[in-house]
Amino acid sequence: MKKFLRAHILFPEYLGFAPYFWVLFILPVLSLTSAIEGVSKYFWSAIIIFYVKVYRDSFMTTKNFDLRIVIQLVIDMIFAVVFNYIFLFVFTSFLIGSFPLENKRFRRLLWMFYIFLGVSLCRVIYVLLTNDGNVDIFDLLLLILSPALPVLASRSLSEKQRQKQTLESENQRLHLLAKERDRIAQALHDDLGQSFSLLALKAEVAQKLLKKDPLKAQLQIEQIADEARADLELVRQIVHDLKYETLAQVLYQANEKLSQAKIILIVENDDNVALWKQEVQQVVAAVINEAVTNAIRYSRANIFKVIFKEDESNYHVTIRDNGIGFAAKQISFGLSGIKQRVTGLGGHATFTTENGAVIILRLPKRKGGSDDAQNLSS
């Protein structure tokens, strides 16, 4: 039931309660249809319900977005012509205004908006001139402002989105830098802290044994030399690992790229990903980079989400956007190499289209661990 509500009824969580508040303004339209007698009353009520459904789905994915706008504009025009009610154009204008002014789609949809609005305004103006119906002062004010609504909405939303993305980008950068610092500190503490303490202890023992038992002191010094060389190799390994991009770095870079493309990045449950195995981080980072490239080039999305999870045996990553989904060639060429890398670690990758492109990764915490668990259970 919860899955059904999210898929077909509820608005996306990132929008908060604002869309539900706006939907309340459709209630006056139902009062218009309730005054109609006969079966046609149910017909017009069904049209309104369908309108709300199309309006809601426009927030879920950009696939067929233009078609949904056309459907809304047709219904907007019908209610303006039949009922002299033009307030529905406000809903469509804010959807169109969700795109930046410089966006080509915004300009295309704006012209469509003006064509349908122009036909509707001709009807309303005719009513005003002939007094052949009722048009209140609010409708008259809306009549004057309506051509500018999409542009005003776009400017307002673009500025708010720019400020929000700048703030989120800076917060994300500081958050990721802090996690990267903690990761390095943890690696140094875990790998070198105990070893250095042991070396210091052995050096003290060797110093005390120099006069009492030179042979044992010599043995201690040799052990210190061996462990020091091992620690040197460990330091080199840590430095070598630092040269690779971590998930924290990749997510920060992804946020920068997506922001430039007017796509919002949402990351969930990323608190512990800095502790994931280095080879796992590298593969997941490669998948995220490829998915970001696809989203910017092909998806027509405005939301890009990465969700991290883990259980006792596996790491789980879900990457999705709300665009048009995968084209066959994108899966076969763009992501096939990454799928092989995931399989090489004993993991599994799936690519599907569900309200946009969806990539699901499962990577074992130890190579072959997932398969071993399955064999034991069978």
pLDDT digits (tens, 9 = 90+) for 80-108: 888 877 778 888 887 777 666 666 777 78
Residue 239 has a pLDDT of 65
Give the pLDDT of residue 187: 65
Give the residue among 45, 67, 41 at the shortest CA–CA distance from 54. 67
- Side chain identity, residue 58: S
What's the topology of domain 245-378? Heat Shock Protein 90 (3.30.565)
> CA-to-CA distance for 303 and 321, rounded, in angstroms?
5
Would you place residue 153 in the very low, low, confident or very high pLDDT band (cuts 50, 70, 90)? low
Q: State how far the Cα of 110 lies from the Cα of 88, in Å rounded to an integer.
A: 16
pLDDT band of residue 372 (cuts 50, 70, 90) is very low
List pLDDT tens digits, range 308-360: 999 989 999 999 998 888 765 455 456 677 788 888 888 999 988 888 889 99
- b/e map of 198-236 (b: 16 or more CB within 10 Å)? ebeeeeeebeebeeeeeeebeebbeebeeeeeebeeeee
User: Is pLDDT of 307 > 90?
Assistant: yes
Domain spans of the chain, in order of start = 2-157, 245-378
Residues 126, 159 contacting (CB under 8 angstroms): no
For the residues 279-308, what does the mean pLDDT come to?
A: 88
CA atoms of 369 and 315, how far apart (whole Å): 11
**In this structure, what are the phi and psi dihedrals at residue 320, rounded to the nearest 5 degrees?**
-150, 155
Question: CA–CA separation, 54 vs 16, rounded Å?
Answer: 19
Cβ 238 vs Cβ 183: under 8 Å: no
Exposed/middle/buried for residue 315 (C-beta within 10 Å: 0-12, 13-18, 19+): buried
- Residues in contact with 302: Cβ distance below 8 Å, sequence separation at least 6, in sequence order: 62, 98, 262, 263, 264, 322
The candidate with the shortest Cα–Cα distance to 319, out of 283, 276, 271, is 283
Kindly write down the DSSP assignment for every residue of 197-249, as one continuous string.
Answer: HHHHHHHHHHHHHHHH-HHHHHHHHHHHHHHHHHHHHHHHHHHHHHTSPPHHH
Higher pLDDT, 156 or 309: 309
Confidence class for position 156, pLDDT limits 50, 70, 90? low
Name the least confident of 37-51, 93-107, 155-169, 183-197: 155-169
pLDDT of residue 92: 83
Taking a C-beta distance cutoff of 8 angstroms, is the pair 85, 134 a contact? no
Q: What is the mean pLDDT of residues 191-212?
A: 76
Specify the pLDDT at position 71.
93
Instruction: Determine the number of helices (DSSP H) and then strands (DSSP E) in the chain.
Output: 16, 5
Flag whether pLDDT at 373 surpasses 70. no
Instruction: For residue 17, count CB atoms less than 10 angstroms from its CB and return exposed for 0-12, middle for 13-18, buried for 19 or more.
Output: exposed
- pLDDT of 370 reads 45
The set of residues, in sequence order, having a beta carbon less than 8 Å from that of 79 and lying 6+ positions away, is 29, 32, 85, 86, 88
Neighbours of 290 (CB within 10 A): 17
Q: How far is CA 29 from the centre of its chain?
A: 34
pTM, whole model, 2 decimals? 0.54
